[in-house]
Amino acid sequence: MRVRVPMVLGIVMMLAAAALTGLTPATPTTALAAGPAQKGDGKAAWLGSQPDIIVILTDDQRAGTEQAMPFTWSFFRSQGVHYPQAQVPTNLCCPARASFLTGEYAHTTGVWENNGKNGGFKAFRNWQGQTLPANLDDVGYETSLFGKYINRFNRSGGRYTIPKGWDVFHTYDDEKADGGYWTSIAELPEGYTTDVLGNAVVQQIQTADPETPQFIYYSPYAPHAPFDPGPYRHMASREKLLEFREAGGLTEANEAIREKDVQDKPRWIRVLPRLSPRVLRLTADRSSRTLMGVDANVQRIIEAQGQYRDLSNTMVVYLTDNGVAWGDHRLRLKRHPYDQASRIPLLIKYPEGTIGAEPPGTSSTRMVNQLDVTATLAQLGGASPTGEGMSLLGAPRRKLPLEASPSRGGQLIRPGFCGVRTSRFLYLKYTDGTRELYDYREDPYELENVAGSGRYSWRTVRFDSLLDPGCDLAELNAMPARGGSGD
């Protein structure tokens, strides 16, 4: 384990002038400036140390369910910012994780799938030196991974190696599995992995050099199927499970789940059977039980950070890799572009005095994706800009790109697509020529595809121009459809 003398950068600054006058800004106005402030330059020049960064990234978590996690929701609601409009550009484990680590879209990384030529560690391998952890490592951070890294890491030549940019690297140690609830973890004790990894994070916090900034990446397998809650099996009462269902939108009010007429949808939706309400409830409950273990470990990690390091100068991020469907438009799990299915939990506690951050306790209206989080972490850590994201400390987005390669698994046979989401609309253009357009102002549950109809016909042309030019439908169409067991 390397020990470095930290660099004192001006990337994380307190509002010194405001502190001297006893005032704080009512609303954030400017983003953090890059580079250290200079004496006599007339700016707020108090130089804070690089913040510790703790990223908690779960696996396949339904948006909204974070609000039913007792400690997690209480902590971030009082000390952090909630981003309910957060989405994932490519709604699948490996592409999403690759995008978070690099700050790049799938059309740039070439990581479209969990396995095969266009997915997994094979596709990601050449990006390992161009990640957020590698960039933070270069500016003095000690970087630590606890949990899932990237799909097919062990099966594609990564086993027994430590990727560039990581000082501490504890990932799942099984040639046939990318993760699991009882899977062995390199150099750690056997046991329920949510706890094993959480305990290792706490130990890292306790023993790390106090003068070296930390980047800690806690990535448990929960709440991924097969949903094993381990020692937390009885921690969620009946009332708590109902709370999880409601928070995740599994309610009578969610018309997307109760949708009977799907004739407006593409053929790949029309051929799907309606899902059993009992199966959906069972999926939600089993997934939610595993989150009680995550919640307990979030508490341990936050309390350890407060006891052994400086929680006030720590950025804590809670998010997941991809969203999941709970029956929305007859769909389950991931790979889907629709609102509820591709939305993700995102909670952020910023270091005190971060210029441009929304105040603690805020529920933000910003549209955001994982790449934006990566850009923000790089900015706060004083690293070189990482990827295609837009820092959350700057101007807000006006659109969110969406993209996916063709998918084939079980009953799902979906063409590839390029898409864009704005505050009002969702537009999707598929490789087979199909289009979808939904107006959230009039149709919040995406029940009526209005692409090409009446007063919306002109918008199709407009939204074609808003698609990310890097998303190439011809390239997607040439890719083999994948899916199923590797998810």
Rounded to whole angstroms, the Cα distance separating 418 from 42 reads 46
Asked, for residue 290, whether it belongs to a domain, the answer is: yes
Residues 438 and 387 in one domain: no
Q: How many CA atoms lie within 13 A of 125 on its CB side?
A: 16
434 Cβ neighbours under 8 A, 6+ residues apart? 266, 267, 415
| pLDDT tens-place string over residues 335-358 | 889 988 889 999 999 999 899 999
Residue ranges making up the domain that contains 79: 52-395
Q: Which residues of the chain have pLDDT under 50?
A: 1-47, 485-486
| pLDDT tens-place string over residues 393-426 | 999 999 999 999 998 876 678 999 999 999 999 9
Taking the CA atoms of the chain, what radius of gyration do you get in angstroms? 22
pLDDT of the residue at 174: 86
Give the domain-ending residue among 395, 430, 457: 395
DSSP for 150-185? STTTIIIIITT---TT-SEEE-B--TT-S--SS--B
Residues 390 and 414 in one domain: no
pLDDT of the residue at 25: 29
Asked, for residue 6, whether it belongs to a domain, the answer is: no
For the entire predicted model, the pTM comes to 0.88
Residues 409 and 390 in one domain: no
DSSP bridge partners of 348: 81, 317
pLDDT of the residue at 483: 64
Give the domain-ending residue among 395, 411, 444: 395
| pLDDT tens-place string over residues 269-279 | 999 988 899 99
Residues 453 and 333 in one domain: no
The CATH number for 316's domain is 3.40.720.10
pLDDT of the residue at 176: 79
CA distances 278 to 146, 227, 274, Å, are 35, 16, 12
